[in-house]
Amino acid sequence: MVGTEWGLLQFEVLAVFLFVYAAIALRRIGGFKFEVWTAMLVGAVALLAVGAMGLDEAVAAVNAEVILFLFGTFLIVEAMVQVGLLQYLAVRFLAVAATPKRLLLAVIAFVAAASAFFVNDAVVLVMTPIVIAACGLAKVRKTPYILAVAFSSNIGSALTPIGNPQNVLIKIESGVNTLLFMERMAVPVALGCAAEFLVLSLAYRKDLGGSFDVSLPDPRRMLSSREEAARVGAVAAVTVIAFLSADTIGWPIALVALAGGTAALLISKDRRQALRGVDWGTIVFFASMFVVMAGVEKSGLLSAVIDFFSPTLFSQGPESVASIFGLSLVASQITSNVPFVAIMLPAFKAAGATPSQWISLAAGSTLAGNLTLLGAAANIIVLEAAENKGETFSFWEFLRVGAPIAILTSSIAVLSLGFLL
């Protein structure tokens, strides 16, 4: 790969990128408070202002499928809130966990399993408000459970080639066999979930002791109307089934989400409130993120990182696996993992990457998503969904537990995939 000549534009893009990162990490610069979506929006506008890309390029950079997918899913979630279905699920969820530690284990297991077979962005979008509601009823600190939703969705989604957007891209471009993919990833994912539980249990041991001192209400009382809940539940269930069979029916997942969201809106008892309930901050974040990452890619800022790892990327055995994971761990914090994989696809195709190297790219980029808040789109969705419910966590809180989880799970995967190659 050819190195990048640094000029004024590269320094301007780097300055914008560092500002965005700082604003998201610090959340306040001077007298200004920055939500993550505000910081990313300012970054996108700044890149346009310095001429890093044209307006047409910025519009083209926005992935409309992702935006429509989020919009449709938000409508379904809001419809579930209106009829009390989320609250109902929260009570049911608590019923199986008598202690805070069991609740944490249940969150990790359920989110990881669901994320393996559904798109993890959709899983966290639905599960975050459920987990927050469950923690509210149980009167426990919400942070470890909210973070567990993010970490588990990334780890669990690594099991299959349909668990997250970057794996889907790799599956389409490489044609890697699904059963081979799952066979190689079963051990790293299982051990990764165990490592996550261990790290969170140690980091939040003061919050995970004892048992729940609360009498749970009858879950049926959470529903505004059984008939309305049944209709919304049916829409949600059909949408989930359609997600699973999207390849068979020939519908992109964005269309599935949009169709489900439209159906939910039609049966909503308050359609204007349903639209107001859409998390527009998340949508602005993603639209802006696509612009910022396109500007970073166009400027060539990633070349130095890629060049450092390129001599060993397509070598044989453990060296190749370690190199792919190392590159993924670093670069995914710069661009987030989905744009990183999109950038790397042409290089892997040109090099004639083996199935094992494709799987390593999928695993490395996915597990790298737990290192920092910006490592994976699912992390931002969890944060925005939490803030929409009045909860939050900082960049540094995420990093404090995310870094050891990412390093442990990536190390487990390198060892496992290296020996299985």
pLDDT digits (tens, 9 = 90+) for 330-345: 888 877 787 788 778 8
Spatial CA neighbour of 130 closest among 164, 80, 196, 69: 80
Q: What are phi and psi of 33, to 5 degrees?
A: -95, 135
Beta bridge partners of 32: 29
- Exposure string of 130-143, with b = 16+ CB inside 10 Å and e = fewer, is bbbbbbebbebebb
Are the CB atoms for 373 and 380 separated by under 8 Å?
yes
Q: What is the rounded distance in angstroms from the CA atom of residue 196 to the CA atom of residue 293?
A: 29
- In this prediction, residue 214 has a pLDDT band, given cuts at 50, 70 and 90, of low
Spatial CA neighbour of 229 closest among 371, 85, 348: 85
pLDDT score, position 2? 44
Are the CB atoms for 363 and 185 separated by under 8 Å?
yes
The secondary structure element, H or E, covering residue 22 is helix 8-26
Q: What is the pTM of this model?
A: 0.75
Q: What are phi and psi of 228, to 5 degrees?
A: -65, -45
pLDDT score, position 159? 93
Q: What is the rounded distance in angstroms from the CA atom of residue 192 to the CA atom of residue 18?
A: 31
Q: What mean pLDDT value characterizes the chain?
A: 85
Q: What's the chain's length in residues?
A: 421
DSSP 44-96: HHHHHHTTSS-HHHHHHHS-HHHHHHHHHHHHHHHHHHHTTHHHHHHHHHHHT
Instruction: Determine the 3-state secondary structure of 159 from DSSP.
Output: coil
pLDDT digits (tens, 9 = 90+) for 42-85: 999 999 998 888 999 999 988 888 788 878 888 887 888 888 88
Cα dihedral sign for 400, 404, 410, 414?
positive
- What are the residue boundaries of the structural domains of the chain, listed by start? 8-420
- In this prediction, residue 229 has a pLDDT band, given cuts at 50, 70 and 90, of confident
Q: What is the rounded distance in angstroms from the CA atom of residue 361 to the CA atom of residue 322?
A: 10
